[in-house]
């Protein structure tokens, strides 16, 4: 599945972020706890250099808690990084992030100078919701669709604390190809940028391999086929998504599977583990522009 999605405002935002890093003291990277690797910025470490970073694994209520613990340990092992898992209901924990961030600043820093924190994240990761909780008021637009935020904002969060909000940037971490599928399956990529049936086949085979019990429970299956099309046909039969002659309506059942996964109706699921990170993983900057479809 080819996903070419790098809208013009993202190219502009990439350049703005590079300039803004010169004044940043702290980086807060918001990740999707279901896909912490695919939703991470592949060049953030190079951009931030030695600046402290808090990695927030958001939507942890939708993720597998065992996998989330593995990711927290993985990120905590990185220099200058702290990691925490949250969901939108944990407002007290979210509000404590800035306090923890202050503790990560160099000891010799002038504490009278306002702290500038930059918050970054791919589209639809829940970044705007976190900002509103941190600010204690509605500052950023929220919505369960990608690319709601489209310009950089400078927000005064508290006394001597400034937050730079950036547009949801989908750096093209689409290699290996599974990253693109994972991002699309979780909703980081607009639905009109991919084929639903192809994506659902990927998701169905992953779920059958890693979370067969969740599928059996949700769709009342006595047997969970391991092959994607067979699994979709079984779900279609259970949900009445059949056309003439009893032929499965793959488009309808694909939409059901993707929607219900995103809503957490299959339970806590994580689509990647630290062990899935490619051994040749690098942080090279992506091409300056990729033609959007």
What pLDDT digit, counting tens, does each position of 178-204 carry?
888 999 999 988 888 788 899 999 999
**What is the pairing mode between strands 153-158 and 161-165?**
antiparallel
* Residue 176: cis peptide before it, omega within 30 degrees of 0: yes
What is residue 12's predicted lDDT score, i.e. its pLDDT?
62
What is residue 282's predicted lDDT score, i.e. its pLDDT?
55
> Cβ distance 54 to 82 under 8 Å?
yes
Determine, yes or no, domain membership for 58.
yes
Q: Is residue 89 located within the same domain as residue 214? A: no
Each residue's pLDDT tens digit, 228-237: 999 999 999 9
Which of 31-35, 140-144, 182-186 shows the lowest mean pLDDT across its residues?
140-144
Q: Is residue 160 located within the same domain as residue 202? A: no
Q: What is the mean pLDDT of the chain?
A: 84
Determine, yes or no, domain membership for 182.
no
| % of the chain exceeding 90 in pLDDT | 51
> Cβ distance 257 to 200 under 8 Å?
yes
Mean pLDDT score, 109-130: 85
End-to-end CA distance of the chain: 13
Determine, yes or no, domain membership for 274.
no
Domain span at residue 42 reads 8-173
Determine, yes or no, domain membership for 279.
no
């Amino acid at each position: 599945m080819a996903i070419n999605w790098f809208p013009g405002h993202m190219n502009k935002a990439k350049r703005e972020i590079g300039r803004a890093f010169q004044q940043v003291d702290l980086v807060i990277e918001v990740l999707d706890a279901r896909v912490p690797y695919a939703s991470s910025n592949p060049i953030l470490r190079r951009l931030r250099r030695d600046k402290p970073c808090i990695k927030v694994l958001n939507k942890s209520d939708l993720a597998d808690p065992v996998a989330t613990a593995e990711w927290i340990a993985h990120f905590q092992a990185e220099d200058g990084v702290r990691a925490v898992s949250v969901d939108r209901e944990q407002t007290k924990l979210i509000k404590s992030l800035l306090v923890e961030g202050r503790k990560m600043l160099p000891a010799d820093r002038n504490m009278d100078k306002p702290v500038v924190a930059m918050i970054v994240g791919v589209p639809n990761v829940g970044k705007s919701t976190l900002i509103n909780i941190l600010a204690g008021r509605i500052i950023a637009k929220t919505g369960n669709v990608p690319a709601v935020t489209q310009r950089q904002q400078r927000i005064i969060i508290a006394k001597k604390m400034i937050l730079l909000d950036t547009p949801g940037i989908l750096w093209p971490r689409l290699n290996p190809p599974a990253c693109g599928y994972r991002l699309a399956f979780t909703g980081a990529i607009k639905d009109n940028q991919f084929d639903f049936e192809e994506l659902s086949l990927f998701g169905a085979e992953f779920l059958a391999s890693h979370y067969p019990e969740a599928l059996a429970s949700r769709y009342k299956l006595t047997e969970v086929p391991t092959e994607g099309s067979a699994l979709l046909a079984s779900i279609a039969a259970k949900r009445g998504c059949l056309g003439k002659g009893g032929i499965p309506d793959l488009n309808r059942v694909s939409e059901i599977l993707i929607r219900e996964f995103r809503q957490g109706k299959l339970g806590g699921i994580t689509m990647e583990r630290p062990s899935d990170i490619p051994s040749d993983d690098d942080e090279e900057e992506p091409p300056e522009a990729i033609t959007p479809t």
